[in-house]
């Protein structure tokens, strides 16, 4: 069954919210301090609560298993002027060869799509939709990225990233227990029909509720470093050979002097509110 993997929401702080947030902050107060773009609060176990006194708004965010908890907190608070900045919906399935499965998927021509492949190792990733769009699909070899694998086969992760009004709609679907429909809708919208139907069937038949081993934060960081060094760097080197002028853009993106999205990142939490940019 599809689940939330990333959740960010902001909302107005009235007297009712201020009273309730004491409990939320108390539960996180032993975590790490979060202070970005005017929001100040705490992050613990990948769950964040932060306040922007200047604009009178609060932020709740969660990643991985804490994304569901963050959404539950927002639903329980039922705040005014709620804005869901981003929701990621994911399904993890077991297949024999994730790279081969991804290689045979065909995006619709109306969407920008990018494939990232490891040169000397496993680690195929398919992106559909531009980085600045309100909807983007990412399908990747989860076992290669995380180092975690099931008793038989390997993990393939299917993920849709939604922002702004698309995220608002997805939140309502989550409330109604229809998270599976969110993933299916966007797969059908962005992949050619036969591939979308095949992948949806795989999600229905071969999904896993949780990975065999829960990732610790330090393990996740180490694996991401290996993934970056073995997959991203070789792919970027190949890109620079084809388009040397892109080096300057890539450097600006990495240093933060130029951004594709307006992003707040703290311990894996980001707040994004950009306009759609996919090629239709």
**Is the distance from CB of 139 to CB of 156 less than 8 angstroms?**
yes
Cα 196 to Cα 11, 83, 112, distances in angstroms = 35, 30, 16
Helix H or strand E encompassing 18 = helix 15-28
pTM for the whole structure: 0.76
Taking a C-beta distance cutoff of 8 angstroms, is the pair 240, 247 a contact? yes
User: Is 243 a domain residue?
Assistant: no
Q: How does DSSP classify residue 91?
A: E
Nearest 5°: the CA angle 41, 47, 51 is: 25
Query: Looking at residue 49, what is its pLDDT?
Result: 96
pLDDT of residue 215: 52
Instruction: Check if the beta carbon of residue 183 is closer than 8 Å to that of residue 91.
Output: yes
DSSP β-bridge partners for residue 94:
155
Nearest to 180 by CA among 198, 158, 195: 158
CA nearest to 96, candidates 155, 159, 157: 155
For residue 233, tell me if it sits in a domain. no
Whether 234 is in a domain gets the answer no
- Domain membership of residue 214 (yes or no) is yes
pLDDT at 171: 97
Number of domains observed in the structure of the chain: 1
Q: Please, is 73 exposed, middle or buried when counting C-beta atoms within 10 Å of its C-beta (0-12, 13-18, 19+)? A: buried
Boundaries of domain holding 109 = 3-226+260-270
Q: How far apart are CA 143 and CA 185, in angstroms?
A: 25
Residue-level pLDDT at 221:
62
Residue 204 is assigned to a structural domain of this protein: yes
How many helices and strands in the chain, by DSSP H and E? 10, 12
Task: For residue 206, give Cα distances in angstroms to 110, 150, 151, 203.
Answer: 29, 12, 13, 6
Measured distance CA(135)–CA(140) in Å, rounded: 17
Residue pair 38/51 in contact (Cβ under 8 Å)? The answer is no
Residues with pLDDT less than 50, the chain: 213, 258-280
Identify whether 172 is part of a domain.
Answer: yes
Tell me, yes or no, whether 69 lies in a domain. Answer: yes
d(CA 153, CA 157): 13
Element (H, E) at 156: strand 154-163
Say if 97 falls within a structural domain: yes
Q: What residues pair up with 266 in beta bridges, in sequence order?
A: 269
Structure tokens at 54: 């200047």
């Amino acid at each position: 069954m599809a689940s939330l993997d990333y959740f960010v929401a902001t909302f107005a702080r009235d007297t009712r919210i201020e009273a309730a947030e004491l409990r939320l902050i108390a539960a996180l107060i032993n975590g790490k301090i979060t202070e970005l773009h005017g929001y100040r609060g705490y992050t613990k176990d990948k769950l964040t609560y932060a306040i922007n006194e200047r604009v009178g708004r609060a932020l709740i965010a969660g990643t991985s298993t804490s994304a569901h908890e963050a959404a539950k907190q927002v639903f329980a608070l039922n705040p005014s002027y709620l804005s869901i900045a981003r929701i990621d919906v994911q399904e993890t399935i077991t297949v024999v060869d994730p790279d081969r499965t991804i290689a045979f998927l065909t995006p619709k021509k109306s969407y920008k799509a990018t494939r990232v492949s490891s040169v000397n190792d496993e680690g195929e990733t398919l992106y559909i939709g531009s980085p600045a769009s309100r909807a983007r699909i990412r399908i990747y070899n989860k076992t290669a990225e995380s180092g975690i694998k099931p008793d038989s086969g390997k993990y393939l992760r299917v993920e849709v990233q939604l922002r702004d009004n698309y995220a608002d709609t997805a939140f309502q679907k989550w409330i109604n227990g229809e998270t599976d429909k969110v993933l299916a809708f966007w797969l059908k919208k962005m992949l050619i029909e036969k591939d979308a139907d095949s992948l949806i069937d795989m999600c229905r038949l071969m999904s896993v509720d949780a990975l065999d081993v829960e990732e610790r934060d330090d393990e996740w960081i180490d694996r991401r470093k290996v993934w970056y060094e073995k997959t991203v760097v070789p792919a970027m080197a190949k890109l620079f050979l084809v388009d040397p002028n892109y080096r300057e853009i890539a450097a600006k993106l990495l240093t933060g002097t130029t951004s594709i999205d307006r992003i707040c990142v703290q311990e894996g939490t980001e707040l994004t509110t950009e306009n759609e940019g996919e090629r239709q």
